[in-house]
Amino acid sequence: MPEFLELVSPPEALHTLLGHLPAQPQPEEVESVHAAGRVTYAAVTAPHALPAFPRSTVDGYAVRAADTHGASESLPAYLSLIGEVPMGAQPDVRLGRGECALIHTGGMLPEGADAVVMIEHTQQARPEEIEILRAVGVGENVLKTGEDVQRGEEVIPAGTRLRAAEIGGLMALGITRVRVARRPRVAILSSGDEVVPPDQQPGPGQVRDVNTYTLQTLVTQAGGEPLSYGIIPDRAEAFRTAAERALAACDVVVFTAGSSVSVRDLTARTIDSLGEPGTLVHGVNVRPGKPTILAVCAGKPVIGLPGNPVSALVIGGIFVTRVIERLLGLQRELPRPAVPARLSVNLASVSGREDWVGVRLRRGPEGYLAEPVFGKSNLIFTLARADGLIRIPAEANGLPAGARVEVVLL
């Protein structure tokens, strides 16, 4: 039986793989309204200042701040009301000394005004006279021209994943199309003579394909475009033919199954026939997922995942997701959403090996408790019942009950 090559830690394995990948993504232009979740290819700069004009942030009266100096409820300032600022139009009034104008939130500040008094701090003494019950400073309750961004300022760096806030910013600047990184095409090849499609009734010794669909979801969530190449039979020629087709058409190739150390290990042999440099890592010091293969063939990443559904999904989250992020050109590595918790029971581990364990979260009197969901790596509902994963570092012999842990949400 063939043996693993030297086992390496997950961080070392990831560093080795990413070090062989190109950092420059491929660009395309899309409508900004459909760009949520996409990654910017180039920096976005502001074509004009935002706000484009000084605006009120409250309902009240536009004033000259100097005219309110010393005003209070016991000694109000009296200003002449000379008009109202229309919404969505330029004011047709100009403030002189001792004058004010009614203004609404978002209204354009009239010429001569440099502050706004909230309407709650005023009262109307006579039809054309307003009592100011509180003094304001210059710029108070006002958004200045360019206070958000200046013309020509970089507002979204290259390599930024666009969220709702960025989409809103693009619209505020009138940028209706944006250059983004093309989604990496990720080929998913499931293998095994015992694997059948989900819509078929499994016969004796057969199981439905799970990994294709969990990995498709994982790839989509990471920002890639998954392409299924079906179920590959355990024959060397079929394996190689499918792999060559996938490598020619896609940016990443992911195998599931075929990576265990056995006489039926076709993945490693196939990968090494696809191009240089071939296999970089065969065996990662992690549970689940030790028989993972990481390779680069003809400049493209090729990953062999274990066939067990839990292993494939956990290892896919560690390696496939990061490969997609690299090919997208993401510049900021944001942490995955996580929740602090305390471990509910003792968890054993082998020193020198990184372990990932599924847990269910339960709210306790002092925060969340993380309750391990025990099960073997070929039981997909072991992971489906979990809210997240906790990591037991390689240098630990396990974690005691009550230990503080970080639950990475699934």
Asked whether residue 250 is assigned to any structural domain, the reply reads: yes
Asked whether residue 196 is assigned to any structural domain, the reply reads: yes
Asked whether residue 257 is assigned to any structural domain, the reply reads: yes
Query: Are 63 and 123 contained in the same domain?
Result: yes
Asked whether residue 372 is assigned to any structural domain, the reply reads: yes
Query: Are 189 and 276 contained in the same domain?
Result: yes
* Nearest by Cα to 253 from 282, 217, 289, 229: 229
Count structural domains, the chain: 4
Q: Where do runs of H (alpha helix) occur along 279-342? A: 309-315, 321-328
Query: Are 231 and 91 contained in the same domain?
Result: no
Query: Are 300 and 214 contained in the same domain?
Result: yes
Amino acid present at 144: K
242-267 pLDDT tens trace: 999 999 999 999 999 754 444 346 78
In whole angstroms, give the CA distance from residue 319 to residue 267: 17
84, two tokens: 């109202």
Q: Residue 41 belongs to a domain with what CATH number?
A: 3.90.105.10
Q: Tokens 């006002």 label which residue? A: 142
Query: Are 193 and 237 contained in the same domain?
Result: yes
* Nearest by Cα to 355 from 311, 385, 323, 386: 311
Domain closes at, from 84, 117, 143: 143
For residue 235, the model assigns a pLDDT of: 83
* pTM of the model as a whole: 0.84
For residue 378, the model assigns a pLDDT of: 67
Cis peptide before 288 (omega within 30 of 0): yes
User: What's the count of helices (H) and strands (E) in the chain, helices before strands?
Assistant: 8, 28
273 CB burial (10 A radius; 0-12, 13-18, 19+): middle
Q: Residue 350 belongs to a domain with what CATH number?
A: 2.40.340.10
In whole angstroms, give the CA distance from residue 135 to residue 52: 27
Query: Are 282 and 206 contained in the same domain?
Result: yes
Q: Residue 85 belongs to a domain with what CATH number?
A: 2.170.190.11
Asked whether residue 348 is assigned to any structural domain, the reply reads: yes
For residue 396, the model assigns a pLDDT of: 87
* Bridge pairing between strands 293-297 and 122-126: unpaired
**Range of the structural domain that residue 64 is part of:** 55-143
Q: Residue 298 belongs to a domain with what CATH number?
A: 3.40.980.10
* Nearest by Cα to 51 from 183, 178, 149: 149
- Biggest CA–CA distance in the chain, Å, is 98
Query: Are 38 and 168 contained in the same domain?
Result: yes
Over the range 192-208, which residues count as b (16 or more CB within 10 Å of their CB) and which as e? beebbeeeeeeeeeeee
Asked whether residue 210 is assigned to any structural domain, the reply reads: yes
Average pLDDT, rounded, for the chain: 91
Query: Are 254 and 358 contained in the same domain?
Result: no
In whole angstroms, give the CA distance from residue 305 to residue 152: 46
For residue 1, the model assigns a pLDDT of: 35
Query: Are 193 and 313 contained in the same domain?
Result: yes
Asked whether residue 271 is assigned to any structural domain, the reply reads: yes
* Nearest by Cα to 60 from 1, 132, 152: 132
Q: 276: Cβ–Cβ under 8 A, 6 or more apart, which residues?
A: 297, 298
Domain closes at, from 131, 165, 181: 181
Amino acid present at 228: S
Contact call for residues 17 and 320 (beta carbons, < 8 A) = no
Query: Are 116 and 161 contained in the same domain?
Result: no
Domain closes at, from 298, 328, 358: 328
Query: Are 80 and 93 contained in the same domain?
Result: yes
In whole angstroms, give the CA distance from residue 386 to residue 391: 14
Question: How many CB atoms sit inside 10 A of residue 275's CB?
Answer: 16
Asked whether residue 333 is assigned to any structural domain, the reply reads: no
**pLDDT by 10s per residue, the chain, length 410:** 344 457 899 999 999 999 998 778 999 999 999 999 999 999 999 999 999 999 999 999 999 999 999 999 999 999 999 999 999 999 999 999 999 999 999 999 999 999 999 999 999 988 899 999 999 999 999 999 999 999 999 999 999 999 999 999 999 999 999 999 999 999 999 988 888 998 999 999 888 999 999 999 999 999 999 999 999 888 888 889 999 999 999 999 999 975 444 434 678 888 889 999 999 999 999 988 888 999 999 999 999 998 888 889 999 999 999 999 999 999 877 778 899 999 999 998 888 888 999 999 999 888 999 999 987 766 778 888 899 999 998 888 889 999 999 999 98
Query: Are 289 and 203 contained in the same domain?
Result: yes
